[in-house]
Amino acid sequence: MLRHRLDPAVLHAPSGLKWPICLTVMAITWSVLTPYFGIPRELIVITSGISALVLSVGVVWAGWQIIDLVGNAIARRGAAPQAPLDEIVSHLLIGLVRVALVIAALVYVADALSIPYSGLVAGLGISGLAVAFASKETLSNVFGAGILVIDRPFRRGDLITAGDTRGTVEHVGIRSTRIRTSEDSVLIVPNGKLADATINNMGTRRHRLAQASLTLPFTVLPERVTEFIEKLRATLAASPHVVDDRTQLGVSSLSSSGTQVDLTCYLDVASSEEERAVKQALMLDIFRLGDQMGIPPLGSEPKPVVDAQPEPIAAK
C-alpha cells in the first residue's frame, strides 16, 4: 500500500544514483590506494588524471540526480498556495546550482591534469563578449527569468494575459514559460518577452466580475421598475457568493428599446467552474423575478401598429 502512495520519482531515485555513486567510490578508492601499489611515478600521473576525470563525472552525475530530487520536492511544495518558494525561484536556483556544479568539476579536472586554466579563463572572458553578442536573445531570456523572480507577476496555475498571449501558466523555466491556451494548445513564450510585457494576472483576483444589462419595456411603469430593482437587490444580498459592498444596480439610461437597468457585482468564488455555475444561477434568478412580477422579456412585447394613412383621393 505504501509503495502505491509514493511518488514514482522517489521510488526510482536509488537506482538512478547507483552508477554515479559506484564511479565516485571507485575513483576515490583508486586515488587513496595508488601509492601503496608500487606503481611508477609516470604511470601514477596518468592514472591520477584518469581518476580525477572519473571522479568528476561521478560527482556531477550524482549531483545532477540529487538536484533533480530536491527540485521535484521544492516544486511540490512550491505548488502550495502559501509556499514561501514559488516555481520560478526554484527553477532558477536549480539551474544556477547545476551550472556551478559543472564549472567546479571542470576546474577540478583542469587542476588535476595541471592545465593552466587561469589563462583559459582570461581568454574566455575576452571571447565571452563575442558569445554574449551572438546569444543576446538567450541572455535576455535568462535575465528575464531573474526579473520574473524579483517581480513575481504570476505563479504556476495562474490565468494571465500578456499582449496577444492569454492562457494558464503550466511551467516556468530559466529560458521560457509554457502557457496553456483556451484552445488547449501550448505556447512557449521567452522570459525576455514576458519580462517586458504588461501582464494581467487573472489568477490574483479577489473576486470575479459579473455584469448584466436588462432592458425593461416602456409599458413597465416607473413604480414597477423601482420595485423590480429593490427585489433584485434583495435577491443579490441573499446570495452567499455575491459581495455586498461591491454591488451596483440601477437605471442607467432610456433607449429606444426601453428602460436600461445595469447590474455590476462581484462573486466570491474560487474557480472558473464555480464562477460559471454561480453566474448561471444568478441570471436564472433574474429571469424568475421578472416572470413573477409579470415583466415581459425584451422582444416579447407586441409592437404598436401604425395607423395606415388614407389613400389620396384621385382628382376628378
Domain 208-292 has CATH 2.40.50.100: no
Which residues, at least 6 apart from 134, have a Cβ–Cβ distance to it below 8 Å?
A: none
**141-155, 160-174, 209-223, 270-284: segment of lowest average pLDDT:** 141-155
Question: Which residue type does 287 have?
Answer: F
Distance of CA 260 to the CA centre of its chain: 39
Which residues, at least 6 apart from 15, have a Cβ–Cβ distance to it below 8 Å?
A: none
pLDDT, tens digit (0-9, with 9 covering 90-100), for 114-147: 777 665 555 555 555 455 555 567 777 777 877 8
- What pLDDT, on a 0 to 100 scale, did the predictor assign at position 181? 93
- Read off the pTM: 0.57
- What pLDDT, on a 0 to 100 scale, did the predictor assign at position 22? 85
| Overall average pLDDT of the 251-272 stretch | 91
| Overall average pLDDT of the 67-89 stretch | 65
Please indicate whether residue 71 or residue 276 has the higher confidence score (pLDDT).
Answer: 276
Return the closest-CA partner of residue 37 out of 297, 253, 29: 29
| Overall average pLDDT of the 218-234 stretch | 93
Write out the CATH class of domain 153-204. Answer: mainly beta
- What pLDDT, on a 0 to 100 scale, did the predictor assign at position 200? 94
pLDDT, tens digit (0-9, with 9 covering 90-100), for 284-311: 999 999 999 988 765 444 444 344 444 4
Surface-to-core class of residue 64, CB atoms within 10 Å of its CB (0-12 exposed, 13-18 middle, 19+ buried)? middle
Q: Percentage of the chain with pLDDT > 70? A: 75
| Position 76 pLDDT exceeds 90 | no
| Overall average pLDDT of the 166-172 stretch | 89
Mean pLDDT of the chain: 78
Question: Which residue type does 174 have?
Answer: I
The secondary structure of 281-312 as a DSSP string is: HHHHHHHHHHHHTT-PPTT-SPPPPPPPPPPP
CB 265 within 8 A of CB 246: yes
CB 79 within 8 A of CB 73: no
First to last CA, the chain: 108
| Overall average pLDDT of the 165-181 stretch | 88
